[in-house]
Structures are given as structure tokens and as C-alpha cells.
């Protein structure tokens, strides 16, 4: 199965989920080594074959601008005597930005009106362009309203002048009429004179009032112009002060950003140094473990009588797990169960639930998988085709060290589920060959499932996890979940 994965450079996600962390790490290293090997082979092939010349399309070419020395003309920013430094450029940009903001605030204050005070203070800036646009529109409407009032006031004054002119004409007509009738009688003449004198006085009074109104309007106009000049002067001063304040604030922000960037860079450098030290330490530990593992492989080859099962590749490719030498010479370690018969070629993994049941009944039942050697009864730790979640549900209320072996529906083999301190761990058991072993490189082979379980009740599954099998997780379902696997076989008793 490992050779098939390395050949395809692909592993099914469901199968990957069944692997432990150590097995995932081992598989990743193997796949990476295979990639490096293929890359080196491809590099050697490319070196042997001469490169093909690719004809250029068209007659396009690039002509570079030549300098006085006949070489390509190059300009490097900052090398010329008239070039500004980056600090000068940033300072100029800050000044220009401050000037634009101050002019914008001054323009808003100019549009506010005659009687209203500026709402914005020097310490505040516009929030956004949309609010500034709405404020300018409102101020324009106010100015238009005030202009309209001034026009109405001028219109009323013109109407008043026309009315007075008409009255003067009327008085003149009446005076002429009175003069024409003066000869009628002296009494009437005196009355007419008195009346004319009265009218003349009223006319003078009205003229005086009209003159006073004109003078008042003139004074108001001059006062308004004076206030506008003072307001313009004040806005100009505020604009200059605001420009200076914004420039200083932008300069301070730039300095703070520069300090923050320096701190971040120092912090990143420290983190990098720590990671570098940890990486070097990890590389050193890995090299030390590999050296120890190579020594163990060498000793195991010397002590073992049958040296043919170890290859140079197995000796060189050694990972974190140490190779466990066989307890007895290989010629004495004979399987107690019959070997698997050669079957027809089957797919790399099961196609469904039915295919797993047929595989178990045709091949595993002949090898008495899941049975105890002495009593020929179904082992208490053996379970049928149950999912990972069902296994965790059975192991969750149990104490640490409980375990079960279930038939996997994802590979041609089994899965050992182990109850650890905080969670359940799952280890794949490869049964595609003639022996039983955990998935991975340099794993110990066992003649039966019972031998594998008995061995790991004494020895841990992995050095990192220290998983030692203690108590089997017995059947909780009635009928048991393995009933369909032995449906075509003789009845077996279950040991609870």
C-alpha cells in the first residue's frame, strides 16, 4: 500500500484521517524523499539532452537610450545633487496636505453666513468628503436666502422712493390747483397757505426720514463690509495656524509610525532568531535519533541470522521510530495460522461495505482472524465493520488503556482504536500481505491479530505516545456487530 501511494503520490483523505500523527509524519517524509528522487532523475535526463532552441517570433527588439559614455543611460534616485532626500519629500507632502486641509476648513467657514459663528474648531478636521459637501450646500442655501432678503429690502426702498415721488407730484398738483383758486377768497387763500405749509412740513419730514434711512443703510453696508474684512483676516490667521498644526501632527504621526515599524522589525528579528535556534536544535535532535536508529539497524542485522529481509534503503531511511528486532530468529518464527492463498487481483481499497464482508469471509476467516488461538472463540477486543465515530463512542466512557480492533471499510485491513488520556487514537493495521503490521515503514510483522495485540500489551505502539494496550473493550450490542462477518461460518462463542 505504501508503494502504491508513493507511485501515485496521492493518498485518500479518508485513509489519511485514520493515520496517527506519527504515521502522517512518516508518510510525509517518504513522499518528500520520492519527490526529491524524481526531481534528481529528471535533472539528470535534462542535462543529457541538449536544450532546444526556440525561434523568436517577429523582428521586435529593444533599443536602450545611450548616455554620453556610450552605455545605457541610468538614473539613480538620490545620487544627483538636486535630488531631495526621502525625508524632504515626505515633509513637503505633509506641508502640502496641511495647506489643503486648512484651505478647505477656511472655505467652509467663509460659507457659513453673517450671524453664525464657525462650527468647526482648529483642533478638529472634517470627517469625510460627503459631510463637507452637505455643509457647503447648506451654507450656499443660507447665502442665497440672505441675498434674496437684501434684494427684497432694496426693492422696498425703491418702492418707497417712487411712492414719495408720486406724493410730491400730487402735492405739486394740489399746490398749483390751490394757487389757481387763491383768488377766490383771502380766507381760502390763508387756509390754502396753511395747508401748503403743513404739507411742506410733512414733505420735509418725509424727506428727512428718507435721508436718514439712506444713511442708515449706508452705515449698515459699511459695517457689514468691515465685518467681512475682519472675518477674512481671522480666517486667514486660523488657516495659517491650522496649517502649522496639521503639519506638526502629520510629522509626529510619521515619526510614530517609523518607531512602530522599527519595533516590529526588532520583534520579527527576535522571533526569527528564536525560530532559527529551535530549528537548529530540532535538526540536531533528528540527526542524533537517525544516527542511533542506524546503529540499531546495524546491530539487528549482525544479531539476526536471516539478513535478507533488510535492505540498504531500510538501513538508511530510518525515522523517529526505532526498529524492534525480532524476539527469535526468523527461521523459528513461523506463522501459527495458514498463509493467505493467492487471490485474484483486487482494487487498491474496498469499493463498499459488501466488498469488505466478502474479503473477510474469503480470506480472513481462513486465517482465523479475530479468534483466540487456544479456544477458537471470538476475541473480546474484536469488533465488526464499525465507523471511527462508533469506536470513539464505545471508548469514551472507558478508562485509559481500553482498546478494540475493528474491521476497516477504507483499506484491506483493520483499525486499532485506543483510549488515551484526553482522546481516542486510531492506528491502521495492514492485512493486504501475508502478515499483520501497522501501516508505515519498518514496522514489526505478526502472524495473526492476536500476536499483534499480545505484543503491544507488553510494548508500546509508538515511542512518542507510549500507548500500551491494557483492557479490551467488549461488545455492547446485541446481536454483536461482527455477526454478518461470521454468518457463513460455524458458530463461535464470544468471550465477554
| HEC profile of 233-271 | HHHHHHHHHHHHHHHHHHHHHHHHHHHHHHHHHHHHHHH
Instruction: Give the model's confidence band at 441: pLDDT under 50 very low, under 70 low, under 90 confident, else very high.
Output: low
Pair 260, 359 in one domain: no
Q: How many domains does the chain have?
A: 2
Query: 0.75 exceeded by the pTM?
Result: no
Pair 386, 238 in one domain: no
Q: Look at residue 320 and tell me if it is in a domain.
A: no
Pair 248, 382 in one domain: no
Pair 358, 462 in one domain: yes
Q: Look at residue 172 and tell me if it is in a domain.
A: yes
Of 275, 300, 323, the last residue of a domain is: 275
Of 275, 301, 333, the last residue of a domain is: 275
Radius of gyration of the chain (CA): 52
Of 234, 251, 275, the last residue of a domain is: 275
Say whether pLDDT at 150 is over 80.
Answer: no
Q: Look at residue 414 and tell me if it is in a domain.
A: yes
Edge-first strand listing for the sheet containing 413-419: 437-438, 424-430, 413-419, 402-407, 471-472
Give the strand pairing for 402-407 and 471-472: parallel
Instruction: Answer yes or no: are the C-beta atoms of 247 and 98 closer than 8 Å.
Output: yes
Pair 377, 493 in one domain: yes
Q: Look at residue 83 and tell me if it is in a domain.
A: no
Pair 386, 481 in one domain: yes
Q: Look at residue 256 and tell me if it is in a domain.
A: yes
Nearest to 182 by CA among 198, 171, 167, 193: 193
Pair 100, 248 in one domain: yes
d(Cα 172, Cα 181) in Å, to the nearest integer? Answer: 14
Q: Look at residue 247 and tell me if it is in a domain.
A: yes
Say whether pLDDT at 31 is over 50.
Answer: yes
Q: In this predicted model, which residue has the larger pLDDT, 344 or 425?
A: 425
The CATH number linked to 370 is: 3.30.505.10
**What is the per-residue pLDDT across 197-241, written as a single tens digit (0 to 9) for each?**
888 888 889 989 999 999 999 999 999 999 989 988 998 898 888
Pair 366, 462 in one domain: yes
Pair 255, 381 in one domain: no
**Domain region containing 406:** 350-496
Pair 363, 496 in one domain: yes
Q: Look at residue 403 and tell me if it is in a domain.
A: yes
**What is the per-residue pLDDT across 368-402, written as a single tens digit (0 to 9) for each?**
888 888 888 899 999 999 999 999 999 999 999 99
Q: Which residues pair with 487 in a beta bridge?
A: none
Q: Look at residue 345 and tell me if it is in a domain.
A: no
Count of C-beta atoms within a 10 Å radius of residue 72: 9
Q: What's residue 127's pLDDT?
A: 43
Amino acid at each position: 500500500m505504501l508503494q502504491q501511494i508513493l507511485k501515485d503520490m496521492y493518498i485518500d483523505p479518508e485513509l489519511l484521517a485514520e493515520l496517527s500523527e506519527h504515521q502522517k509524519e512518516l508518510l510525509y517524509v517518504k513522499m518528500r524523499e520520492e519527490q526529491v528522487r524524481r526531481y534528481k532523475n529528471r535533472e539528470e535526463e535534462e542535462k543529457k539532452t541538449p536544450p532546444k532552441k526556440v525561434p523568436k517570433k517577429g523582428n521586435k527588439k529593444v533599443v536602450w537610450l545611450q548616455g554620453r559614455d556610450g552605455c545605457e543611460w541610468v538614473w539613480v534616485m538620490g545620487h544627483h545633487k538636486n535630488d531631495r532626500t526621502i525625508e524632504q519629500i515626505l515633509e513637503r507632502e505633509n506641508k502640502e496636505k496641511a495647506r489643503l486641509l486648512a484651505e478647505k476648513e477656511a472655505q467652509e467657514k467663509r460659507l457659513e453666513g453673517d450671524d453664525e459663528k464657525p462650527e468647526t474648531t482648529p483642533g478638529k478636521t472634517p470627517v469625510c468628503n460627503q459631510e463637507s459637501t452637505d455643509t457647503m450646500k447648506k451654507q450656499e442655501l443660507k447665502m442665497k436666502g440672505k441675498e434674496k432678503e437684501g434684494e427684497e429690502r432694496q426693492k422696498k426702498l425703491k418702492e418707497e422712493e417712487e411712492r414719495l415721488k408720486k406724493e410730491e407730484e400730487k402735492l405739486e398738483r394740489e399746490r398749483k390747483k390751490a394757487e389757481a383758486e387763491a383768488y377766490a377768497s383771502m380766507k381760502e387763500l390763508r387756509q390754502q397757505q396753511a395747508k401748503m405749509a403743513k404739507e411742506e412740513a410733512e414733505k420735509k419730514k418725509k424727506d428727512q426720514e428718507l435721508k436718514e434711512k439712506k444713511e442708515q443703510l449706508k452705515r449698515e453696508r459699511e459695517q457689514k463690509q468691515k465685518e467681512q474684512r475682519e472675518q477674512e483676516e481671522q480666517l486667514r490667521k486660523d488657516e495659517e495656524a491650522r496649517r502649522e498644526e496639521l503639519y506638526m501632527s502629520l510629522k509626529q504621526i510619521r515619526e510614530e509610525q517609523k518607531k512602530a515599524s522599527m519595533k516590529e522589525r526588532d520583534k520579527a528579528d527576535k522571533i526569527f532568531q528564536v525560530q532559527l535556534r529551535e530549528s537548529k536544535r530540532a535538526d540536531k535532535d533528528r540527526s542524533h535519533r537517525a544516527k542511533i536508529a542506524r546503529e540499531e539497524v546495524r546491530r539487528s542485522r549482525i544479531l539476526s541470522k536471516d539478513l535478507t529481509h533488510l535492505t540498504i534503503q531500510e538501513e538508511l531511511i530510518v525515522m523517529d521510530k526505532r526498529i524492534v528486532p525480532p524476539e527469535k530468529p526468523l527461521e523459528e518464527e513461523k506463522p501459527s495460522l495458514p498463509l493467505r492463498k493467492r487471490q485474484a487481483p483486487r482494487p487498491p481499497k474496498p469499493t463498499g461495505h459488501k466488498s469488505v464482508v466478502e474479503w473477510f469471509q474469503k480470506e480472513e476467516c481462513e486465517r482465523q482472524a479475530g479468534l483466540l488461538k487456544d479456544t477458537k472463540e471470538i476475541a473480546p477486543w474484536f469488533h465488526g465493520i464499525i465507523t471511527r465515530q462508533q469506536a470513539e463512542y464505545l471508548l469514551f466512557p472507558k478508562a485509559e488503556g481500553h482498546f478494540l480492533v475493528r474491521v476497516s471499510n477504507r483499506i484491506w485491513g483493520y483499525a486499532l482504536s485506543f483510549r488515551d488520556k484526553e482522546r481516542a487514537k486510531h492506528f491502521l493495521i495492514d492485512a493486504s500481505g501475508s502478515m499483520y503490521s501497522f501501516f508505515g515503514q519498518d514496522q514489526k510483522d505478526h502472524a495473526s491479530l492476536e500476536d499483534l495485540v499480545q505484543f503491544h500489551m507488553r510494548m508500546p505502539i509508538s515511542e512518542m505516545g507510549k500507548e500500551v494496550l491494557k483492557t479490551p473493550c467488549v461488545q455492547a450490542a446485541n446481536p454483536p456487530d461482527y455477526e454478518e462477518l461470521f454468518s457463513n461460518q460455524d458458530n463461535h462463542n464470544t468471550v465477554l
